Chains A and B, each alone.
Chain A
Amino acid sequence: GEDVEQSLFLSVREGDSSVINCTYTDSSSTYLYWYKQEPGAGLQLLTYIFSNMDMKQDQRLTVLLNKKDKHLSLRIADTQTGDSAIYFCAESNQGGKLIFGQGTELSVKP
């Protein structure tokens, strides 16, 4: 069945790069997404990648997709304390519903 896996925690120092990893199982997913959730808030769409792309860059964010290994990563350059949040990887199935990973809690230390 469909499954998305992420590591639960990541801690970095302010100014460093953060890399959040995700693996998924549904090879038919057309788009893969990264959402951000700040404490007490809803989910904010950060970025997405189309499945026929290898990389997408959007300001400080870089998404890498290895379709063969079903591995997706989100790199945040020059991580700031305001980037502290939970980051969810998600794939969409044919029906459109999103299958989420467990979320990676990013902690940025000054």
Chain B
Amino acid sequence: GAGVSQSPSNKVTEKGKDVELRCDPISGHTALYWYRQSLGQGLEFLIYFQGNSAPDKSGLPSDRFSAERTGGSVSTLTIQRTQQEDSAVYLCASSLGAGPNLKETQYFGPGTRLLVL
């Protein structure tokens, strides 16, 4: 079956512009996670969704970052007024549910490489 897909795979933008990143989770997975991978910070958690609600947004670095999920499926991560330090790979993962149990094993998409000039 299809895995987690993300689009675009690469995005180059100018400082100050807004960007939207999309994640399509594995069908039937109710939990969806966003992470960021950057050279200086490693892999950082941003936000996760259980269904359409986001119980944990603690990783969002600033109020320029927001995410939504509709219909319990596709999620978009929006970065407003992008800054150069936002340049990173944004990874999405999905799991059957949320919580530290086996069925909650997270499967990752290929990521979106964002470069802010």
Chain A residues engaging chain B, CB cutoff 8 angstroms? 29-31, 33, 35, 41-45, 48, 50, 88, 92-103
Query: Given A96-B104, A97-B48, 6 other A-B contacts at CB below 8 A?
Result: A33-B105, A45-B108, A48-B105, A92-B100, A96-B48, A98-B93
A97 touches B45 (CB 8 A): yes
Contact residue range for chain B? 20 to 34
CB of A75 to closest CB in B, whole Å: 21
Residues of chain B from 31 to 65 with CB closer than 8 A to chain A in the complex: 31, 33, 35, 42-43, 45, 48, 55-56, 59
Interface residues of B in 9-49 (CB under 8 A from A): 31, 33, 35, 42-43, 45, 48
Chain B residue numbers with a CB within 8 Å of A31 are 100-102, 105
B50-87 interface bits toward A, Cβ cutoff 8 Å, 1 = contact, 0 = none: 00000110010000000000000000000000000000
Given contacts A97-B33, A102-B42, contact A45 B105 (CB under 8 A): yes
A42 touches B108 (CB 8 A): yes
Nearest to A97 among chain B residues (CB) is: B45
Residue of B95, B99, B111 touching A94 (CB-CB under 8 A): B99
Docked Cα-Cα span, A94 to B35, in Å, equals 17
Q: Which residues of A contact B95 (CB under 8 A)?
A: 96
A103 CB contact (under 8 Å) in B4, B42, B59, B107: B42
